[in-house]
Amino acid sequence: MIVLRMRMEQRSLLVEVWDDRTEPPAIPEPPSEEGGQVEGLAVGSVSKAWDYYLPGSGGRVVWAELHLPHSLGAATMGES
């Protein structure tokens, strides 16, 4: 089972993915281009920050903080 939780803050989106593994997440190879398509996009290349932790309930949680454009963050948060 995998659990996904997302939380929006003022200028970022925090994404957490919980699974039953306990080993550190594997760092994928950098994206490569084959046939005009980019494959294997890594979370580190699209996030402001990311890491993982082992919660007391077991498993691991891998999280990433994604930057939101000001216009998207403001519209979603009810700001003008």
Is residue 59 within 8 Å of residue 18, measured between CB atoms?
yes
48-76 average pLDDT score: 83
* Residue 38 domain-assigned (yes or no): no
What pLDDT, on the 0 to 100 scale, is given for residue 33?
60
Q: Is the pTM of this model over 0.75?
A: no
CA 65 to chain centre: 6
CA 46 to chain centre: 8
Q: Who has greater pLDDT, 16 or 39? A: 16
- Percent with pLDDT over 70 in the chain: 62
CA 63 to chain centre: 5
pLDDT at 60 over 60: yes
Domain holding 74, by residue range, is 1-23+44-80
Is residue 18 within 8 Å of residue 61, measured between CB atoms?
yes
* Residue 17 domain-assigned (yes or no): yes
Average pLDDT over all residues of the chain: 78
* Residue 34 domain-assigned (yes or no): no
